[in-house]
Amino acid sequence: MKRFHVHVAVTDLTASIRFYSALFAAEPTVIKSDYAKWMLDDPRVNFAISQRGATPGVDHLGVQVENEAELAEMHDRLQGAALPVDTQTDTVCCYANSNKYWTVDPQGIAWESYHTLNDIPVFGESRNSPKGAPASEVAACCAPTSGKSVGVPVKSSSCC
131-140 pLDDT, tens digit per residue, is 454 444 444 4
* pLDDT at residue number 115: 93
Q: What is the mean pLDDT of the chain?
A: 80
Q: Where does the pLDDT of residue 149 fall: very low under 50, low under 70, confident under 90, or very high at 90 and above?
A: very low
Distance CA 102, CA 118 (A): 19
8 Å CB contact between 3 and 46: yes
Does the domain at 3-137 match CATH 3.10.180.10? Answer given as yes
Give the largest CA-CA distance in the chain: 42
* Structural domain spans, the chain: 3-137
In this predicted model, what pLDDT tens digit does every residue of 30-47 receive, in sequence order? 999 999 999 999 889 999
pLDDT of residue 95: 80
pTM of the model: 0.73
Q: What is the pLDDT of residue 136?
A: 42
Does the pLDDT of residue 126 top 70, yes or no? no
Comparing 122 with 60, the larger pLDDT belongs to: 60
DSSP states of the chain: --EEEEEEE-S-HHHHHHHHHHHHTS--SEE-SSEEEEEEETTEEEEEEE-SSSPSEEEEEEEEESSHHHHHHHHHHHHHTT---EEEEEEEETTEEEEEEEEE-TTS-EEEEEEEEEE-SS-B--SSSPTT--GGGS-SS-PBPTTPPTTSPP-B-S--
The alpha carbon of residue 95 and the mean position of all alpha carbons in its chain are separated, in whole angstroms, by 11
Amino acid 127: pLDDT: 45
What's the pLDDT tens digit per position in 18-30? Answer: 989 998 999 999 9
Question: Is the per-residue pLDDT at 120 higher than 90?
Answer: no
Q: Return the CA Rg of the chain.
A: 15
When mean pLDDT is compared across 9-23, 34-48, 56-70, 96-110, the lowest value belongs to: 96-110
